[in-house]
Structure 1
Amino acid sequence: MMDESEYDDILDDWFIESLKTYRDLHVYQLEFPTRVIEWTSGKTICVASYNKSTKNEILELSLPRKLFAEEKKGLCAERDFKVLHGGFSSGPVSVLKHVPGTRLIVTNDGLTSDLQVWNLGGGESDVIAKVASVQGGEGTPGGVKMAARLSPQPEVLHGCRGGDVRLTRLSTGQTLYQLASACEERLTRLHLLSDAVFLAACANGDVLTVDTRTSSPPQLAPAPDSDVWWTDASGSGLVRVSASGQAALSDPRNPAGVVSRARVAAGTPCRHPDDVTVSWAPALDDAISLSGFSSTVQIYDTSSWGSEPRDANPLFEHRGHGVCSPPSSAEAEGGAVALTGHVWHPKESRTLVSAATDASLHVWDWIDQSDGR
């Protein structure tokens, strides 16, 4: 067991190291940990707690203004997170999606397939209030995955299994599309490719490509290997990472064809499979991030991956959650602090927000020292 002096030495060493590896690093302590981090604008995020026994806070936070200062090393009076709006959910919040272009968020408790719709407030109100509910599939277990859009009305794509995905208009609760598939695999990601096409990624690594304009069954792209997989898709490609650390890239237009592979140094998946996050960087070419296997967020450059899997080392590793958490916090969690999620900033190329089981929330802008990229 680590004593306080050992912990202080590790913290001091990491602090000195961080001066050279981060352009900015800000730490915030929530009252309860969050599994959800969602951008509501370029400078604000929404988080929520997931306790099953108490009311759960939903908060909209503004990020420190210093993070977005034109001159990073200049003086800036505001260096902390601020609570802008808040509300309470009677159940846990395990999934949360913001509807782009609106002040609406959609949540799920992880226990049922029902959805809750919230207004984030604004103007004279600082209260986040529930404005509607959407019933999920009858008899469907929890663990909903979602994707949201404004098209031109707010809509949400949601489901727990490959065979129960539906598209719902939030203003009326009307089902606009329901997937007819016999797939009963648990979903790990839903991704809207266009107005009519979406991807449904399953825990076994299979990916369904669905065209809502046709009654034809979805196209199935089988898993690269037999394992548990987590998936993300973007214009850059489709990435799948397995519980054993295998990674595979595909073209989203042809998910069945694996373009390149690698073995990532992820470690062992955490206690909760929904805490594993793999994500494409929206503003940095060929970069993906991975968390939920340990107390770190790892960033990889996929441009060097080849047709045969080789060991890939992280381009950068954010170790702050594990280092900054005192031994008492780790003991309270029954072991090492683990990541519960992370997100990239939609426009800032190397800025991310991450959260952990000790209720810590970090926003960081990292420096790539490998090639000045």
Structure 2
Amino acid sequence: MDAADEWLVQSLRLYRDLHTFELQAPTRLIEWARGNRVCVAGYGQSDGNEILQLIPPPTLLTKETQGLCPERDFKVECGGFSERPVYSLKYVPDTSLLVTSGPPNSSLQVWQVSAEDSDVIKSVSTLATENCTGQSWAKIDTISARAPWVLHGSRLDRVQITEVESRKSVYTAASRGSEELSGLAFLDCNTLLLCCATGRLCLADVRQPQSLVEATPVPSAPCSEQWCLGSRHRAQPSEPSSQPVARLSSRGLLTLTDLRKTSEFLALAKARVPSPGSGAEFLCVSWAPALEGCLAISERERNKERLNKGLE
């Protein structure tokens, strides 16, 4: 048994209950949707990338131990197909809309999740962003504090907020830099957090569109290292959140930063990722929605043949 096989076996032993759902094609992402639903989406380069909304098994939605439960699988509630790969998907709070993005450019697709009498997720519009041709796919986040908004951008000088239903641009960030973005987020309805692929964090205020974004320190790291962002946003405006902002590098360095005091790190840790230094295609860090102070991290998987061998 090599190192990869040993890592896989040890990971499986950590689960008290393991629930699986077999997809017909690989999926790149999983996101929470309304009503304790989850959405998964494909990312292949060919037509017909599937978007599914799933109902988790009841045993995952209760804190009590249920023992033997007859329903242990995820169920497909509704679904649809995208003609382009889906690299990012966000549910728009307080609506029945989803927003997705993916190659070959930074335009966005808006989807209507079906009503109770239908099982279809249908495409309703496309948000063709300014100068989207030739730009990489857009990172996105959503909020509904004032109206259904989507925050999107692929580079630091291409960050915008668009009203989802009217397709009206309501904000464009001012920046002299054009660094590639690895993530962005609403901290609240007024404050935006932007994370460059190099790990640099920037803040912007929608009430001051011409103000320059302010960068926070970046950990000392090789130039080839890629970073991703994990944060939470709140609906009501207030001082910068006391919830730390997490960053994860492709080599497994995990940092926590308090935006009220950006001159130093709250914590630094070395995370165990399957393939350190192999890139950031599937690099992800996120805060657990129901477990205070807990993070989930992932990195691109090792060669599938090695993983399959470990399961035999």
TM-score grouping bracket, smaller chain normalisation: 0.7 to 0.9
Secondary structure of the residue aligned to 2:19 is: strand
Shift of 1:32: 0.7
Matches within 5 A, 1:32-181: 32-69=25-62, 71-138=64-131, 139-181=133-175
Shift of 1:106: 0.4
Structure 1 residue identity aligned to 2:144: L
Is 1:330 the counterpart of 2:275? The answer is no
Q: In the alignment, which residue of structure 1 is the partner of 2:193?
A: 199
Identity within the alignment, % = 36
**Whole-angstrom CA distance in 2 between matches of 1:77 and 1:267:** 34
Structure 1 residue identity aligned to 2:172: Q
Residues 249/264 of structure 1: CA separation in 2 closer, same or farther (3 Å cut): same
Secondary structure of the residue aligned to 1:171 is: coil
Is 1:237 the counterpart of 2:237? The answer is no
**Aligned residues of 1:40 and 1:46 also touching (Cα < 8 A):** yes
Shift of 1:160: 0.2
Secondary structure of the residue aligned to 2:285 is: strand
CA distances 1:309-354 after superposition (whole Å, capped 9, x unpaired): xxxxxxxxxxxxxxxxxxxx933xxx547xxxxxxxxxxxxxxxxx
Residues 109/230 of structure 1: CA separation in 2 closer, same or farther (3 Å cut): closer
Quick check: 131-140 or 282-291, which moved more? 282-291
Aligned with residue 22 of structure 1, among 10, 15, 39? 15
**Aligned residues of 1:157 and 1:165 also touching (Cα < 8 A):** yes
Secondary structure of the residue aligned to 1:66 is: helix
**Whole-angstrom CA distance in 1 between matches of 2:279 and 2:111:** 26
**Whole-angstrom CA distance in 1 between matches of 2:248 and 2:165:** 36
Please give the root-mean-square deviation of Cα atoms over the aligned residues, in Å: 2.7
**Whole-angstrom CA distance in 2 between matches of 1:229 and 1:141:** 19
Residues 289/75 of structure 1: CA separation in 2 closer, same or farther (3 Å cut): closer
Residues 49/42 of structure 1: CA separation in 2 closer, same or farther (3 Å cut): same
Q: In the alignment, which residue of structure 2 is the partner of 1:282?
A: 289
**Aligned residues of 2:25 and 2:42 also touching (Cα < 8 A):** yes
CA distances 1:152-188 after superposition (whole Å, capped 9, x unpaired): 3211000001111000001111100001112211111
**Whole-angstrom CA distance in 2 between matches of 1:267 and 1:50:** 21
Residues 177/14 of structure 1: CA separation in 2 closer, same or farther (3 Å cut): closer
**Whole-angstrom CA distance in 2 between matches of 1:200 and 1:86:** 31
What 5-or-longer segments of structure 2 have no aligned partner?
233-241
Residues 70/229 of structure 1: CA separation in 2 closer, same or farther (3 Å cut): closer
Shift of 1:281: 2.5
**Whole-angstrom CA distance in 1 between matches of 2:134 and 2:204:** 21
**Aligned residues of 2:143 and 2:189 also touching (Cα < 8 A):** no
Structure 1 residue identity aligned to 2:151: L
Q: In the alignment, which residue of structure 2 is the partner of 1:210?
A: 204
Aligned with residue 219 of structure 1, among 174, 197, 214? 214
Structure with the larger strand share: 1
Q: In the alignment, which residue of structure 1 is the partner of 2:184?
A: 190
Residues 256/210 of structure 1: CA separation in 2 closer, same or farther (3 Å cut): farther
**Whole-angstrom CA distance in 2 between matches of 1:269 and 1:220:** 26
**Whole-angstrom CA distance in 2 between matches of 1:136 and 1:255:** 32
Residues 259/70 of structure 1: CA separation in 2 closer, same or farther (3 Å cut): closer
Residues 130/269 of structure 1: CA separation in 2 closer, same or farther (3 Å cut): farther
Structure 1 residue identity aligned to 2:226: V
Quick check: 248-257 or 202-211, which moved more? 248-257
**Whole-angstrom CA distance in 2 between matches of 1:236 and 1:192:** 13
Structure 2 residue identity aligned to 1:76: C
What 5-or-longer segments of structure 1 have no aligned partner?
296-328, 338-373
Secondary structure of the residue aligned to 2:265 is: strand
Residues 24/270 of structure 1: CA separation in 2 closer, same or farther (3 Å cut): farther
Structure 1 residue identity aligned to 2:259: P
CA distances 1:236-263 after superposition (whole Å, capped 9, x unpaired): 2012222333232210233343232222
**Aligned residues of 1:248 and 1:258 also touching (Cα < 8 A):** yes
Structure 1 residue identity aligned to 2:304: A
**Aligned residues of 2:251 and 2:277 also touching (Cα < 8 A):** no
Task: Give the TM-score, by structure 1 length.
Answer: 0.71
Shift of 1:126: 1.2
